[in-house]
Amino acid sequence: MSDTPAKSHGRLSIRPTARPRELMSDRPKLAGAWTAQVITLLPDAFPGVLGHSLTGKALDDALWQLETVDLRMFGEGKHRNVDDTPAGGGAGMVLRADIVAKAITHAQRGRPKDRAQWPLVYLSPRGKPFDQAMAQRFSATQGITLLCGRFEGLDERVIEHFGIEEVSLGDFVLTGGEIAAQALIDATVRLIPRVLGNQASVEEESFSTGLLEHPHYTKPALWEGREIPDILLSGHHAKIADWRQAEAERLTKERRPDLWRAYRAKHGRDPDGDQEL
């Protein structure tokens, strides 16, 4: 377990002897760098997969920052207890409101109070489903505080008291909020300018246009008797763009009728038919 409640990750935390004075505090700040602050019982689970590949490089390059807040450090008694049995009985344990509140208050010190600039989110299966639009919104903030639940979840009163936004990764139940937090951070960080080498790829991806993405192909030209569609080898850029758009529309219509209806409505077409409005 870490001996301080907050621990930063990335470039700023791996050069302890060379850090300037400001960065030697428990709460190093880098002006302008989007910051993910994660309140968790498993701080060692971070940065996890976020420390690899493009998000890891961007973390090293200080294009974003990660800070974990160890919930256990706010626990009570010899064992630093953070949970207790559910009021009214039933299985499992519930994270205590008073303990979680102390961690949130600690995490929020010195951060913007405006939730539009710094959302406070509890990863929860009861939350609003996470989507690309939410990732866009979060990527335009200064940072975010993410609260990872464990056991049966959080005492409801702390959610109400702080007006916490609940966000779900999907209609399934995870053991804890850490994997959900990492997924949310990954989807958000890759939208921050310069994190991906090629910003155009973000704009063309699934959901950015309201459609699922078209299929991709690469070498070899023939594999297991399957060829790359001729049009993609034609060098005719306008026709390739038309083919990709048609494929994106076909896949969306087949696989995600909900997205297809929204896309048609957004483009002034009857959501339920093929006729122009």
Ligand X SMILES: C[S@@+](CC[C@H](N)C(=O)[O-])C[C@H]1O[C@@H](n2cnc3c(N)ncnc32)[C@H](O)[C@@H]1O
Say if CB 69 and CB 100 are below 8 A apart: no
- Report the C-alpha gap between 68 and 89 in whole angstroms: 32
Q: Does 235 help bind ligand X (rule: CB under 6 A)? A: no
Q: Does 40 help bind ligand X (rule: CB under 6 A)? A: no
How many residues bind ligand X, per CB under 6 A? Answer: 19
> Which of 52, 57, 126, 236 forms a contact with ligand X (CB under 6 A)?
126
Our CB check for ligand X shows the closer of 174 and 202 to be 174
Q: Does 129 help bind ligand X (rule: CB under 6 A)? A: no
CB of 6 to ligand X, least distance (A): 20
> Which of 180, 187, 191, 212 forms a contact with ligand X (CB under 6 A)?
180
- Phi–psi pair at 126, nearest 5 degrees: -85, -5
> Which of 177, 188, 190, 232 forms a contact with ligand X (CB under 6 A)?
177
Q: Does 123 help bind ligand X (rule: CB under 6 A)? A: yes
Report 136-175 residues binding ligand X (CB under 6 A).
148-150, 152-153, 168-170, 172-175
CB of 177 to ligand X, least distance (A): 3
What is the x/- site pattern for ligand X, positions 64-103, by CB under 6 A?
----------------------------------------
CB of 183 to ligand X, least distance (A): 9
Q: Does 176 help bind ligand X (rule: CB under 6 A)? A: yes
CB of 161 to ligand X, least distance (A): 17
Our CB check for ligand X shows the closer of 124 and 252 to be 124
Give a three-class secondary structure readout of the chain: CCCCCEEEECHHHCCCCCCCHHHHCCCCCCCCCEEEEEEECCHHHCCHHHHCHHHHHHHHCCCEEEEEEEHHHHCECCCCECEECCCCCCCCCEECHHHHHHHHHHHHCCCCCCCCCCCEEEEEEEEEECCHHHHHHHHCCCEEEEEECCCCCECHHHHHHHCCEEEECCCCCCCCCHHHHHHHHHHHHCCCCCCCCCHHHHHHCCCCCCCCCCCCCCCCCEECCEECCHHHHCCCHHHHHHHHHHHHHHHHHHHCHHHHHHHHHHCCECCCCCCEC
- Report the C-alpha gap between 138 and 213 in whole angstroms: 22
Report 41-70 residues binding ligand X (CB under 6 A).
none
> Which of 51, 56, 86, 125 forms a contact with ligand X (CB under 6 A)?
125
> Which of 35, 40, 124, 145 forms a contact with ligand X (CB under 6 A)?
124
Contact residues for ligand X (CB under 6 A)?
123-126, 148-150, 152-153, 168-170, 172-177, 180
